[in-house]
A and B are shown apart, each in its own frame.
Chain A
Amino acid sequence: MFPQKIEEFVVALGRKTSQGEISWLYDDNNATVQTTTPGINVTLRYSFNEIKEVGEFVLFYRDEADNKEYRFYTSQEWSDYNNARLLFDIAQSSGIRLPF
């Protein structure tokens, strides 16, 4: 489960991506999205937990100032999973080139 602060950050990331302020790189093989916008270093990784049989997200946030990596986890057992899923989908679609 994400802390309140991170949950709000996830929602904000989704909103800013939809507005075109943040762009992402999608790695379909590893089910990962990573920001390509300078100053924001976020990676969201999806996986399926084969033991618990639930989907899960891990959000990595790297703070450039103190050079630390923060790691936050949520799974389908928590309600914020849907926010992470939504951000993942928005990020995926941010770099997509549709034919029309």
Chain B
Amino acid sequence: MENKKEIIIMNFLKSHWLRITYSMILIISSYIAYCYSADITSDNIRLNKFSYIGTVATIIALLIAIFEIAQSIHASKSIQKQAKEYLSRAESLDHASFSTECLGNLDEANSYINNENYNTSLKCFQHFRKTFSRFSYVFENIDELNKKIGEIELSLHTATQTTVSAPLTKISRSNIQKDIISIKNILEEIYSKRKDNYVSPKN
């Protein structure tokens, strides 16, 4: 029980030692000021000198306080900037992995169209769409792109209704493939233009 009390007191001292120290200094200073008050207030020249020193010390303290605040604002700003930089690097890494996944899905969707396996192709394309929506905001012409993606998905949906006796014509099939490849090109283009280093520096 006593041990616990001691620990609490020690913790209090540890976290508040600075306040305790300056409280002590304040008490000692007040005591000294009280002891010498009669000597200083009795003589006008001494009192003026003391007042002057006190005013200068107050101005210096004020200036120090103002500049310390400015310094801490500057430090927190640079910390914020660095944090932002790290966050954007992490975001770039995410986008790179999403885009690789998307390209893989599109390749698979295309190869299943070659085998006229439209059901699996549609699944691959829907998987691509899900991943794409997670980082689609980086694309400038997103409305146009979304429209095209919607059209491709609809074509694949229709293609799943084809049968051996009523297949999709070669030209419709190759049109879907061309559209998928054009989406792939857009993805590749946006990532080949970027020169980001996806590996974070050591410092």
Give A residues with C-beta under 8 Å from B: 28-31, 46-48, 50, 53-55, 76, 82, 85
Contact = CB atoms under 8 A, between A and B. Distances in A.
B168 A29 contact: no
Contact of B169 (A48, A54, A85): A48
Interface of B: 155, 158, 161-163, 165-172
Nearest to B160: A53
Contacts of B171: 29-31
Given A50-B158, A53-B158, A53-B161, A76 B170 contact: no
26 contacts: A28-B170, A29-B170, A29-B171, A30-B170, A30-B171, A31-B169, A31-B170, A46-B169, A48-B162, A48-B166, A48-B167, A48-B168, A48-B169, A48-B172, A50-B155, A50-B158, A50-B172, A53-B158, A53-B161, A53-B162, A54-B166, A55-B165, A55-B166, A55-B167, A82-B165, A85-B165
A53 B168 CA distance: 10
